[in-house]
Structure 1
Amino acid sequence: MNVRVRRIYEPPEPDDGRRVLVDRLWPRGIAKAEADVDEWPKGLTPSTELRKWYHGGGSYEEFRRRYEAELAAPEAAELLDGLRKAARKGPLTLLTASKTPERSHAEVLAELLRG
């Protein structure tokens, strides 16, 4: 499956395919029209508590473990399954405002979708 993670602040590219914002809050400083987002499944984002814990100094490995547990909840699991189906049909780009997308929830999602 062609799943990749990009910062939402990067301009859309022709090979992005379906563009999915995976952040709970809309990113600052970017207009919705500029973002070219196809979907915004807020139910797939980490809980506020988990996000605050991680940004407060939690380890990435523990964050990943806790986030994967959150993704096992019925609503999140259903949304994740929907993204899997979309990824089977063509390219899927997960968008995040994270400054380090490779160590963010977006990368956890991408790895789960690729696996």
Structure 2
Amino acid sequence: MTEIKLKRVYEDVENEDGFRILVDRLWPRGMRKDQLKYDLWAKNITPSPNLRKWFHDDIKSRWDDFVTMYQKELDGADEAKDFIKTVESHNIVTLLYASREPVYNHASILKAYLEKVLRKM
């Protein structure tokens, strides 16, 4: 099964990162495009703009609802099926995100979602 890792875009690149996927809809602040080493920018796999804005209004109290709503978006998205195929074709995948929040961010939800789906395959 594919090993999935999480890493902030501002952290150093390592050989152990494998296939690096940027999973933010917006380009990371303060970073030039030539600064970030990534193999794929999967902006269509991120939470919808409305969901993201709603969540950021009150991150900690909306976390549980955000997890549920984002997972529903992933379940209903054709992009998610294509993304899963891309992920499973690599031994190691690192999901890159810009948020300063290591726990309350969509990349952690996406990682858990992918691991669950890949276990069933």
Count how many residue pairs are aligned between Structure 1 and Structure 2.
113
1:32 Cα deviation after fit: 1.9
Does the 8 Å contact 1:44/1:80 carry over to 2? yes
Gaps of 5+ in 2: 117-121
Gaps of 5+ in 1: none
The structure where helix makes up a greater share of residues is: 1
Matched, 1:41 2:42: yes
1:56 Cα deviation after fit: 0.3
CA distance 1:82–1:74, shift in 2 (3 Å):
same
State the AA in 2 paired with 1:85: E
1:27 Cα deviation after fit: 0.5
Matched, 1:72 2:75: yes
In structure 2, C-alpha distance between the alignment counterparts of 1:84 and 1:3, rounded to whole Å: 9
State the AA in 2 paired with 1:100: E
1:83 Cα deviation after fit: 3.8
Q: Which residue of 1 aligns with 2:119?
A: none
State the AA in 1 paired with 2:63: Y
In structure 2, C-alpha distance between the alignment counterparts of 1:69 and 1:76, rounded to whole Å: 13
In structure 2, C-alpha distance between the alignment counterparts of 1:101 and 1:71, rounded to whole Å: 21
Q: Which residue of 1 aligns with 2:111?
A: 110
Q: Deviating runs (4+, > 3 A) in structure 1?
A: none
User: Residues 49-60 of structure 1 correspond to what in structure 2 (within 5 A)?
Assistant: 49-58=50-59, 59-60=62-63
**Greater Cα shift, 55-64 or 70-79:** 70-79
Among the aligned pairs, what percent are the same residue? 38
1:80 Cα deviation after fit: 3.2
